[in-house]
Structure 1
Amino acid sequence: MTDIGFFARSFGPPPREGRPAMVLVHGLGLSGRYFVPLARRLAAGGATVVVPDLPGNARSRAAEHRAPGVGQCAEALARLHRRLSLGPSVLVANSVGCQVAAALAARHPRLVGRLVLVGPALEPGVSGWRQCARLVADAPREPLGLLGLAAFDYLVTGPLRCAASFGHALRDAAGAFEGNLSRVRAPTLVVRGAGDTIASGTWTRRVAGLVADGRAGEIPGAAHAAHYGAPDAMAALIEKFTVGEPGRSTVGEAG
């Protein structure tokens, strides 16, 4: 638990000048635990990696009395950045966490050097019921270990908070999300697992097109949580992206 009121894991060396830290942002109702395999691989390459449980979720459940909205989570991440003196970081987010990351990058551009959005989940204009159906269709494509981990996290966070967070995320997707993306100036990589039933190729390419400097990519053999199902491939993709120049293609880029 950090002294700003919510829990965060850390991997690798302390933050240092010349090497951007990486902050990994989980999806709705979950914890940062499903980012741990990726965090360990990034840290093995020398990166400073921070993996929070967002306020109101899992081990940070007590940090908020009610489920916080997307903007509130973004402001909490901004406080974490400043408290840990992370500087302009690489923000890696999955699913609904992509909305939090976009809000942070739009509101606090100096805190985000690069942005990696993995399977941005909520497509504007798609109903909540259809989004849930896509999630159900994705579940059999994910590793069994992830399903058990997610079920535990959902129980810890609590069904009422998960439902409230889903409502917040749907409203953000219908309103602020695309506007936030259009304000992002950091080079951005939008990645999906090739088997993802939640974030379609068409939608991920649209997300990449909304930011000022975006590109889209796919990871074969992975589904919605591509960072968990294929952590080595995801780590390689992120590492190549973080050392590349804006506007240049990256490993695994979709055509």
Structure 2
Amino acid sequence: MTDAGFFVRSYGPLPREDRPAVLLVHGLGLSGRYFTPLAHRLAASGATVVVPDLPGNVRSRTAARRAPDVGQLADALAGLQRGLFSGPSLVVANSVGCQVAAALAARHPHLVSRLVLIGPALEPRVPAWRQFARLVADAPHEPLGLLFLAAFDYLVTGPLRCAASFRHSLRDAAESFEVNLSQVRAPTLVVRGAGDTIASGTWTRRVAGLVADGHAKDVAGAAHAAHYSAPDTMAALIGKFTVGETG
């Protein structure tokens, strides 16, 4: 379905006022398709799950003439949420999507009840070439199906838009990411796949420490996209976190 220029995937029952919906936010150049395994599991537990393609990406590519920056993506997500839900959402993000989620929680705090950041990237003060090298190093640790999916999505989004989005994200990492994290008041769970070469353990613990109420958790047997390679574990973690358990 489409909504306010977004292509949106929906899973589970219709939203209810007594239960926050779950919003899944993908990484740079991708679509929301790689959240499908996790979305199905969350929906099976009774959650309303919404997975948009962010403006400028894959099936929402024509929603933006140019690659939006991180703040513009956060504001666009806020508009989408207001149109779909009556209350705040549990926001789950991966990779550079964590920068968008942090900006959303900082700029529109009333729209975020809880925040789950999976493999937050990009890490401030790390040169662009090293960030790219970390991405390349992560590939052998991910399932083959994810690599094919990601390659297709990057081609549809287009190399020029991916490059522009990367530049926007690097600027946000250098100037705004940590500031936004320090303004997040929603309880936050920071998850890192134990084999993640992109988001270091030191950095993910720092992310958890920057937010007002942050908790860090490692997932064994997973890399950067823990929600794809370990969806059952991630669904269980999110379910516990939703009711206030962080262990």
Structure 1 runs of 4+ aligned residues shifted over 3 Å read: none
Distance between the aligned counterparts of 2:150 and 2:233, measured in 1? 22
Counterpart check, 1:142 vs 2:142: yes
The 5-angstrom pairing of residues 12-91 of structure 1 reads: 12-91=12-91
Once the 2 structures are TM-superposed, how far is the Cα of residue 11 of structure 1 from its aligned partner? 0.2
Secondary structure at 2:18 match in 1: coil
- Number of the residue aligned with 1:201: 201
Give CA-to-partner distance per residue, 1:93-146, whole Å, 9 cap, x none.
000000000000000000000000000011110011000000000000000000
Alignment deviations for residues 154-212 of structure 1 (CA, whole Å, 9 cap, x no partner): 00000000000000000000001100000000000000000000001100000000000
Pair 1:250 & 2:246 matched? yes
8 Å Cα contact 1:21/1:86 also seen in 2? no
Q: TM-score, normalised by structure 1?
A: 0.96
Superposition deviation, residue 87 in structure 1: 1.3
Q: Does the aligned pair in 1 maintain the 2:21–2:85 contact within 8 Å?
A: no
Contact in 2 for aligned 1:89/1:112 (Cα 8 Å)? yes
- What is the distance in 2 between the residues matched to 1:189 and 1:18? 22
Per the alignment, residue 104 of structure 2 pairs with 104
The percentage of aligned residue pairs carrying the same residue is: 80
Give per-residue Cα distances to partners, 1:212-252, cap 9 Å, x unaligned. Answer: 000100100000000000000000000000101xxxx624x
Unmatched tracts of structure 1, length 5 or more: none
Q: State the AA in 2 paired with 1:192.
A: R
Residues 199 and 11 of structure 1, relative CA distance in 2, 3 Å threshold = same
2:33 and 2:7 map into 1 onto residues whose CA distance is: 12
TM-score by length of 2: 0.99
**Letter of the 2:144 counterpart:** L
Cα RMSD for the two superposed structures: 0.8
Of 82-91 and 174-183, more deviation after overlay is shown by 82-91
Write the letter of the residue equivalent to 1:37: P
From the superposition, tell whether residues 86 and 116 of structure 1 become closer, same or farther in structure 2 (CA, over 3 Å): farther
Report whether the alignment pairs 1:92 with 2:88: no
| Contact 1:26–1:32 (CA under 8 A) maintained in structure 2 | yes
Q: What is the CA distance between 1:3 and its match in structure 2?
A: 3.5
| 1:17 Cα offset (Å) | 1.5
3-state SS of paired residue (1:18): coil
Q: Report the 3-state secondary structure (helix = DSSP H, G, I; strand = E; otherwise coil) of the residue aligned with 2:115.
A: strand
Structure 2 residue runs without a partner (length 5+): none
- Structure 1 match to 2:184: 184
The 2-side partners of 1:78 and 1:3 are apart by 12
Contact 2:121 2:199 in 1 (8 A): yes
